[in-house]
Structure 1
Amino acid sequence: MDIKELITIDPDILGGQPVFAGTRVPVESLFDHLEAGVSLDEFLDDFPTVTKEQAIALLDVANRLLTSRNIAQLYAAVA
């Protein structure tokens, strides 16, 4: 899944916070839930507008980004 199809950033939706495409659910919510020990299925129950495919695709993108050989670019982007 293309990242542009997965995440929407629109100043009219939650002030431009990245959300799952087609929803008003912040991407950050998935990571917050997982960090708190909430299962993926519970997250999906809490946010029924997010599909399992979207959540898994987002986790895959995050994994690829954080394990990329281009991690130095990530450091520069968040510095």
Structure 2
Amino acid sequence: MKRYGRDTFEEVLLMKKKQIISRNPNVMSGALVFAGTRVPVEILIQHLTAGDSLNKFLDDFPTVSREQAVAYLKMTLEVADARAA
């Protein structure tokens, strides 16, 4: 996994977040959603923890791109890794 200095990591994370996820009080009551959609990221986590595949999630929510879903999962892992360090 690529490691970043703290400042650089935060900058990369901010850039990625804008392309992957968004939060707006007028969209889905302010829930964190995939950028450009009304699909809460929580739905992806629910699908995966229920044992559904990523393909099943993408079939159910075609407005979310594979790239967004994978990037969100990677971003979440990077955040968890950075917090654990």
| TM-score (normalizing by structure 2) | 0.78
Structure 2 unaligned residues grouped into runs of 5+: 1-14
Q: Helix, strand or coil for the counterpart of 2:62?
A: coil
Q: Helix, strand or coil for the counterpart of 2:74?
A: helix
The sequence identity of aligned pairs, in percent, is 51
Aligned alpha-carbon RMSD (Å): 1.4
1:71: how far off? 3.6
After superposing on structure 2, the runs of 4+ consecutive aligned residues of structure 1 that deviate more than 6 Å are: none
Give the match for residue 10 of structure 2.
none
Deviations 1:51-78 (A, max 9, x none): 000000000001111111x348xxxxxx
Structure 1 unaligned residues grouped into runs of 5+: 73-79
1:6: how far off? 0.9
Report which of the two has the higher share of helix.
Answer: 2
Q: How does 1:15-34 map to 2 (within 5 A)?
A: 15-34=29-48
